[in-house]
């Protein structure tokens, strides 16, 4: 199967701290790929590098077999930290704001993504009335605008209760079925086992193992 992302020898230092040490792996198309590791193992650093937020000291990566270009970036949706939504605006109006800033997707796409994350019925409710799980699903809806082929999510279940975690799990499984490749970082072994088809395990910046 083709790779959507190939990493080769990615190495990153923050001053004397080595956050990543020669990390290489491939993310197959159509997979739910878990980057698993404890706090401080380098997951967020790795995601920041593949999203061009940080530069590696060594190594390189290819998206869809090629070095990064703005055109390819449109195929990638990412959620590195919880976005700031307006508390007094409805879900639908918040997504209108997201859309006008990002330029991704059409007006019709907003209804579409709200349905995908099971918030269509609540589209007119204020953001402030949402549970944490609903807020996180709205954040994922924002990422889905423009229908990116690949989604990159950092700890998508952080802070959620078991019901919220299960809802995100169902959502990820549904997104995989509709053809998205999903790359997610997590420290929850159990969650990764339940939802991921492939995994890369990091410990103190070292890749311990990767595979299906």
Q: What is the dihedral of CA 41, 47, 175, 67, to 10 degrees?
A: -140
Could you give the C-alpha distances from 133 to 109, 128, 137, in angstroms and in order?
21, 12, 6
Cβ at position 27, least distance to ligand ATP in Å: 17
- Decide if residue 44 touches ligand ATP (CB under 6 A): yes
* CB nearer to ligand ATP: pick between 48 and 94: 48
- Decide if residue 45 touches ligand ATP (CB under 6 A): yes
Cβ at position 205, least distance to ligand ATP in Å: 7
DSSP 8-class letter at 104: -
- Decide if residue 187 touches ligand ATP (CB under 6 A): yes
Upper half-sphere CA count for residue 170 (Cβ side, 13 Å):
11
Interface with ligand ATP (CB under 6 A), residue total 12
> Percentages helix, strand, coil for the chain, rounded to the nearest 5?
35, 30, 35
DSSP 8-class letter at 126: B
Cβ at position 186, least distance to ligand ATP in Å: 9
- Decide if residue 176 touches ligand ATP (CB under 6 A): no
* CB nearer to ligand ATP: pick between 89 and 206: 206
State how far the Cα of 133 lies from the Cα of 131, in Å rounded to an integer.
5
* CB nearer to ligand ATP: pick between 23 and 143: 23
Cβ at position 21, least distance to ligand ATP in Å: 11
DSSP 8-class letter at 140: H
Binding site for ligand ATP (CB under 6 A): 14, 17, 19, 37, 39-45, 187
């Amino acid at each position: 199967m083709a790779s959507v992302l190939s990493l080769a020898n990615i190495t990153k230092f923050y001053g004397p701290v080595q956050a990543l040490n020669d990390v290489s792996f491939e993310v197959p198309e159509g997979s739910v790929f878990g980057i698993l590791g404890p706090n401080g193992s380098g997951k967020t650093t790795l995601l920041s590098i593949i999203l061009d937020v940080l530069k590696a000291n060594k190594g390189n990566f290819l998206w869809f077999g090629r070095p990064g270009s703005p055109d390819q970036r449109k195929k990638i949706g990412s959620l590195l930290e919880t976005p700031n939504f307006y508390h007094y605006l409805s879900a639908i109006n918040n997504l209108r704001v997201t859309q006008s800033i990002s330029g991704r997707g059409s007006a019709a796409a907003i209804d579409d993504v709200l349905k995908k994350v099971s918030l269509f019925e609540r589209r007119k409710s204020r953001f402030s009335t949402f549970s944490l799980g609903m807020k996180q699903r709205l954040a994922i809806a924002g990422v889905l605008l423009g229908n990116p082929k690949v989604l990159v999510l950092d700890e998508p279940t952080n802070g959620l209760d078991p019901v919220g975690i299960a809802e995100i799990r169902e959502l990820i499984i549904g997104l995989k079925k509709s053809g998205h490749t999903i790359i997610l970082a997590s420290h929850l072994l159990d969650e990764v086992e339940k939802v991921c088809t492939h995994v890369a395990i990091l410990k103190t910046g070292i890749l311990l193992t990767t595979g299906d």
